[in-house]
Amino acid sequence: MKTDCVVQAAPFSGRKQSLIEDARRERSSGSTGSPGPLRDRENFVFEKEEEKEGKAALNVLFTLSNDRNGGFFKIGKIFETFEAKLLHIESRMGRKSKNSTADLEFFMKCEVQNVDLEVFINSLKGVTEDVRSIPEKKVPWFPRQIKDLDRCNMLITKFDPDMDHDHPGYSDPEYRKRRAFISELAFTYKQGDLLPIVEYTAEEVSTWREIYRQLCSIYPNMACKQFLDNLQQLEKECGYGEDSIPQLREVSAFLKERTGFQLRPVAGLLSARDFLNSLAFRVFQCTQYIRHSSSPMHSPEPDCCHELLGHVPMLADKEFAQFSQEIGLASLGASDEDIEKLATVYWFTVEFGLCKQDGAVKAYGAGLLSSSGELAYALSNEPDYKQFNPEEMAVQPYQDQTYQPVYFVAESFEDAKLKLRRYSATIKRPFSVRYDPFTSSIEVLDQPSKLQNVLSQMREDLKILHIALEKLSSS
């Protein structure tokens, strides 16, 4: 059950125009989520939710000569002196022994206070030989369970009408008060709560009606078939229409049955990392406020018109839902540079993507399907078209102040998904991930035993398929 507690919004730094710009600023500021090592393998560690203040993870290699009696006990004394925590130790016969009695090589993982790091290594050099330190490669923290999305709430950008002088609602105190109330619903939401219901005002419904009429008048000739079919179903089952703004609770239940996606309320534009990470769980972060009535055909930020009309109908398509989740899975533990590239791929597909259908180019991107002006422009002869290519998309300059000069056209969602998988495989991560729909959790495939478990599950699935094929052939 939801409570009536009031949670203050976190401070917002800067103004960003898009998910891509969010990723760019995260990268330049070095912000990669909640730091601190969680668990290690090889020379990388996963960052954890709470930083271990002042400590450094260290891999150190050294050689201990048999001529130095008591050398190992001296090493122990060094660890005791600096209160270093030994995490792992291995030893082997030295490869380049100069003496008749073989030296020993040691590999240690340990944790040392940052301020003592240099003196600690120099002390080891005093009692051992060939000391080499290997820095850990930190993997940014990412959610492992769906409840961890409660922590994915970094609103780096907020076009708040209280802060943004260019916002259409800046000079309207009633609108600003209304926005604060709706934002509070998102701030207090926790995974597992019932999605909040918003009782929209007559003015808000009037704004929705104007947008809905305008867009629905051009959808038949410009939107892809999947969008049109699912919009029709939403009108039948979720109250889509001119006279009321659909509620997230009903829409989320509809998506859950169709593709496994669900909605989660959000107060504004999330950081690129947090937003993309959510997609890995088939969770779409969705705003509930609506744009100001003075500017129904333009909003400087995502609002419920953009989400409910642009995104939701496509998330009800199985192939597109899988495509969206693939981007999310690729973002887990990715570097800041790769997050920026994935955000750009998202921009040119999920937001501004085009596809071929029945010999014509149609729109499937939410940024197009929620903007009558850019939708008409994108399907005119003015912009340039390029073939769907994630490698090229990832570095393509984008436009966030006016219409895009170039759009990428997919042959099909299946083709786009396969090309995205090939691109995702080039992202440098020392592990792979797999989503478990039964537990709504992410499994990190970084050990042979985990791979064996996945193979066992695949064998069971193949047995089921084999039995089904036998029954079909015998009927």
pLDDT at 226 > cutoff 50: yes
Query: In which band, very low, low, confident or very high, does the pLDDT at 219 lie, cut at 50, 70 and 90?
Result: very high
Which SS3 state, helix, strand or coil, does residue 137 take?
A: strand
Q: According to the model, what pLDDT value does residue 160 have?
A: 60
Tens of pLDDT along 110-164?
Answer: 888 888 888 998 999 888 888 888 766 678 899 999 999 999 888 755 556 555 6
Cα maximum dimension of the chain: 91
Tens of pLDDT along 341-350?
Answer: 999 999 999 9
* 351 is known as an active-site residue: yes
Neighbour count for residue 270 (Cβ, 10 Å): 22
Q: According to the model, what pLDDT value does residue 39 have?
A: 36
- Choice among 183, 299, 370, 371 that is catalytic: 370
Q: According to the model, what pLDDT value does residue 261 have?
A: 98
* Residue, of 99 and 404, whose pLDDT is higher: 404
Q: According to the model, what pLDDT value does residue 43 have?
A: 45
- Choice among 301, 307, 326, 351 that is catalytic: 351
Q: According to the model, what pLDDT value does residue 92 have?
A: 84
The encoded tokens of residue 371 equal: 């903007």
Q: According to the model, what pLDDT value does residue 333 have?
A: 94
* 88 is known as an active-site residue: no
State how beta strands 441-445 and 104-113 pair: unpaired
- Choice among 18, 306, 324, 340 that is catalytic: 306
Q: According to the model, what pLDDT value does residue 72 have?
A: 81
Separation of alpha carbons 390 and 30, rounded Å: 25
- Choice among 21, 311, 371, 374 that is catalytic: 311
Q: Considering the chain, what percentage of its residues have pLDDT values greater than 70?
A: 83
Backbone angles phi, psi at 105, to 5 degrees: -105, 140
Q: According to the model, what pLDDT value does residue 100 have?
A: 47
Q: Render 304-362 in DSSP notation, one character per residue.
A: HHIIIIIIHHHHTSHHHHHHHHHHHHHHTT--HHHHHHHHHHHIIIIIT-EEEETTEEE
- What is the mean predicted confidence (pLDDT) over 289-317? 90
Computed over every residue of the chain, the mean pLDDT equals 84
- What is the mean predicted confidence (pLDDT) over 390-402? 86
Q: According to the model, what pLDDT value does residue 9 have?
A: 35
Q: Give the CB-side neighbour count of residue 335, counting CA atoms within 13 A.
A: 11
* 298 is known as an active-site residue: no
Query: In which band, very low, low, confident or very high, does the pLDDT at 12 lie, cut at 50, 70 and 90?
Result: very low
Q: According to the model, what pLDDT value does residue 40 have?
A: 36
* Residue, of 56 and 20, whose pLDDT is higher: 56
* 311 is known as an active-site residue: yes
Contact (Cβ atoms closer than 8 angstroms) between residue 322 and residue 131: no
